[in-house]
A and B are shown apart, each in its own frame.
Chain A
C-alpha cells in the first residue's frame, strides 16, 4: 500500500517544479483534487488539462497515465477515462501499440457500454487513418452498427461512429452507405463539426447522393444548412444540380452537362445519373397528379423524361421494382395507373403543392356534404 503512494507524490512534486507558472498552478489544483479524492471533479479537470499544448508529447502523456492516472482509473467515470485517453492515444507514435493499449483498456471500462463503444470507434479510426487496414475497420463498423441502433437514445458516441463509418465507406467507394452515414452524422453532432470543413463535406455528400444506388431522397440534404456552405464557392453548381435532381428537371440536367461532366466520377456514370433523374422525374409526375387523374400516358412520360417510347415501360418497371411508385401498367391503353409514391423530404414548393391538394380534397368533401344535405330532404319526406 505504501508502494504506489510515493510514486504519485513524487510524480506530482516533480511536475510542479516546471518553469511554467500557469502549468504549475494547474498541477497544484490537480494535486488538491487528488488528495481530497474528488474523482468526478478530477476527471472533468483532466479532460481539458490533458489537451494542454505543452503536454502533447508521447513520453509526457504516457508518464501521466502510468504514474498518475492508472492509480485511480477504476474509481472514475469510465467514459471520462476514455475521453482523457483519447489524447494519450493520439500521441502514441506506434499505432499498433496504440491499438493494443486500447484493447487493454477494454477490460477496465467494460462496465460502461458507452465507453466500450467509444473505445472501439477510436480503434476503428486508427485502423482506417493510420494503419490502412480496411478489413479490421469494417469488422468494427459492422459490430457496432447493430449495437448502436438498439441503444435507446442518441449518445455522443453515435456521432463519432457515423463519422468513422462515413469515412470508411467513402474510402471504399460505397456511395449509398456513405450518404446515409454522413446524414446520420450530421443529424447527431453537427454542432461539434468544424465550420471550415462544411463545404468539403457538403461536396462529397452531394456527389454521393448523385452516385449512390438506391438514394432517391435528396430533399433531406437540400434542407440541411451544410449545403449553404457551397454558396459563393466554385462548387455552387452542385447545389443547382441536386435541386434539378430533386424536382426531376431533366432540361436543367442537360443544360448543366458541361459543368458536371468535368468531374470524372460523374462523367463515367452518366447512364446511371440519367436513369436516376428519369426515375425522380417519374416520381415528381406521380406526386403532382391529382387524385382523379391517376392514369399517366406513356406519351406524357416519354415527353417529360426525354426517353424513346420503347424504354418508357422499362423505366416504369424499374420504378415499381424499387418501390418508388406503386401502380399497374396497361400497355394496351398505353397508360400506367399510379396509386402511390414513396414519401420523401419535400422542399417548400412541393409542400405548397401538397397543401393545395388537401384543400382541393376538402372542397370536394364539402360539396358532397352539401349535396347530401339537399337530398336528405327528399329522403325524409318520403
Chain B
C-alpha cells in the first residue's frame, strides 16, 4: 500500500512501515533504561538505530514516536545534558521529518517546568531556542520559550535583557499562532519596553496591534491591558491621546455573542480553510448585521464597584482632554465627551468641562474655590508626584490660554494693562502667553509696546469688506422677501375666511 506524505512542500513516499518494530522496541528500551541506569546508553543506542531506520524509511509517525521516546528516556533518567545533546543532534539529521521535530520539541517544552534548578532550565531553553531558530514550523514553540526566558530574566532584574529577547520575536507575522496569543505576546513586548523606558520602540510595537481586535467582547481583558500600557506611554507626551485611551477604558464591556474564538494550531491548509470560513462568516454577518448589532449593544450588568471605577476612568478622560493643548481635535473631543450621560454622576467634572467649552472668561480664584478640593483628591493632581506637578502647571496654563482665546475673540483692541487685569497676571506674563499662542497660530495678535495696546483684528482688504457687505444685504433682502411672502399669505387666508363668513 502506497502512502504519500506532504512534508513541508515535498512529496515523500513512505517506503517501509515500522509501526510493528516501534511497538516492540520502544517499550523494551524504556524498561531497560528504567531498571538499570547503567544500561541508559544501550537503550538510547537502540532507539537511535530505530530512529535511523524510520527516518530513512520516511515513516513520519514512527519517527515521531522514536524521537519522543528518546526524550522521555533522557527525562526519566534525569540526564539533562544528554537530553540537550540528543535534541541538537537529532534535529540536524539528514532528511529529518519536520512533523517529527515538531512532536519532539513539543514534548521537550513540557519538561521546561520540571527542571530541578534554574541553571538546567536555562540550558534547556537555550538548546531548544537555538534548534528552533529560523524554523517556521516550530515558531510557536519558540515564541513561548522566549517568553519563559524573558520572564526569568526579568525576575533576575535584567529588564533590558528581557526586553531585548522579547523584541527579537516577530509574532505579528506568525500565521499559525492564535490571534489572542499574538496580542498577549505583543503586550508583553510593550510592557518590557516601557519598563526600560524605550518609548520609541514601545510606540512602534503598539502599532502592530489592530484596534479592531478589541471589538470582540471576549478580548475585553486584553483591551484593558493594552490601553493601560498606552496610557503609561502617552501620559507625559500627549494628553490628547491619553484622554482617548481613558475613553476606551471607560467603555463598559459588552455581552459576549455566540462567536467563540477557537484555539487551534492550524497547518497551512487548515489556515486556508479557516480563511474561507471567515469570508463566509463575514457574508453571513452582513445579512445578520442588525441582529448582531442589537446583541452587541447589550451591556453586561455591572456591580456598583465596577460602575464607580468606569466613572473614574471617564473623569480621567475628561481631565486629560481639558489639559490637552487647544486645537480642532481637542475641541471635538470635548464636545463628544460632554454628550456622555454618565458625566451627570460627577457634576463637578461636568461643570469643569462646560467651563472650558464655554466662551466666557474663567476666573482662576473662583475656579480654585469651586473645584480646588475636588481636584486635590484626584490622583492626577498629587503634589508629591512629578506627573501631578506637571498636571497642575498644565491646568493653569490651559485656563490662561482659554481666557486669552476668549479675549481675542471678543476684542478688536485693548490696553495691555486691562488685559493684565482681566487675566489676573503681570503684564510681562501676559506678553509671554500672547507670544506663545501667536506662535502656535491659535490667535492673531499685534502688540504696540510703546503705547501698550494689543490689536487682535486682521486688516481686511477692500474686496473682503465689500463681499461681506454684499452677503449681508443679500441675507437681509431674503428676510424681507420671506416676511412679505408670509404677510401676503396671511392676508389671502384672512380674505378667504371673510368671504366664507359672508
Contacts and interface: CB of A to CB of B under 8 A. Distances in A.
Interface string A314-325: 101110110000
B359 interface: yes
Contact of A332 (B361, B406, B415): B415
A241 B409 CA distance: 34
A90 interface: no
Contacts of B361: 314, 317
A331 B412 CA distance: 8
B457 A328 contact: yes
B360 A321 contact: yes
A257 B358 CA distance: 32
B6 interface: no
A128 interface: no
Contacts, number: 38
A331 B418 contact: yes
B378 to A, nearest CB: 28
A329 B411 CA distance: 4
Interface centre among B411, B422, B453 (most CB of A within 10 A): B411
B413 A330 contact: yes
Nearest to A337: B412
A317 B362 CA distance: 12
B414 interface: yes
Contacts of B418: 331
B359 A332 contact: no
Contacts of A329: 410-412, 414
Interface string B290-330: 00000000000000000000000000000000000000000
Contact of B413 (A316, A320, A331, A358): A331
A330 B457 CA distance: 10
Given A328-B457, A332-B453, A317 B410 contact: yes
A313 B410 CA distance: 10
Interface in A298-334: 313-314, 316-318, 320-321, 328-332
A321 B359 contact: yes
Interface in B399-452: 406, 409-415, 418, 422
A232 to B, nearest CB: 31
Interface residues of B, number: 17
A181 B321 CA distance: 34
Given A328-B457, A332-B453, A320 B411 contact: no
Interface centre among A321, A329, A331 (most CB of B within 10 A): A331
B90 to A, nearest CB: 70
Contacts of A330: 411-414
A72 to B, nearest CB: 34
A134 B108 CA distance: 66
B303 to A, nearest CB: 19
A358 B457 CA distance: 31
A226 to B, nearest CB: 22
Contact of B358 (A313, A321, A331): A321
B412 A320 contact: no
Contacts of A318: 360
Contacts of B412: 328-330, 337
B411 A328 contact: yes
Contacts of B415: 331-332
Interface string B346-362: 00000000000011110
B411 A331 contact: yes
A118 B458 CA distance: 56
B359 A320 contact: yes
Contacts of A337: 412
Nearest to B358: A321
A332 B411 CA distance: 10
A366 to B, nearest CB: 16
Given A328-B457, A331-B418, A332-B453, A317 B360 contact: yes
Nearest to A329: B411
A183 to B, nearest CB: 21
Contacts of A313: 422
Interface in B247-289: none
Contacts of B410: 316-317, 320, 328-329
Contacts of B480: 358
A332 B360 contact: no
Nearest to A343: B479
Nearest to B456: A328
Nearest to A310: B421
A357 to B, nearest CB: 11
A328 B455 CA distance: 12
A185 B422 CA distance: 44
A188 to B, nearest CB: 21
A361 B462 CA distance: 24
B360 A331 contact: no
A317 B414 contact: no
A222 B99 CA distance: 90
B421 to A, nearest CB: 9
A358 B406 CA distance: 34
Contacts of A321: 358-360, 406
A330 B360 CA distance: 17
Contact of B406 (A316, A317, A328, A331): A317
A337 B410 CA distance: 10
A373 B501 CA distance: 50
Contacts of B360: 317-318, 321
Nearest to B479: A343
Contacts of B457: 328
Given A329-B410, A332-B413, 6 more contacts: A317-B360, A328-B411, A328-B412, A330-B412, A331-B418, A332-B453
Interface of A: 313-314, 316-318, 320-321, 328-332, 337, 358
15 contacts: A321-B360, A321-B406, A328-B410, A328-B411, A328-B412, A328-B457, A329-B414, A330-B411, A330-B412, A330-B413, A331-B411, A331-B418, A332-B413, A332-B415, A358-B480
Give the 8 A-B residue pairs with the shortest CB-CB distance, closest first: A331-B414, A321-B359, A328-B412, A321-B360, A329-B411, A330-B412, A332-B413, A320-B410
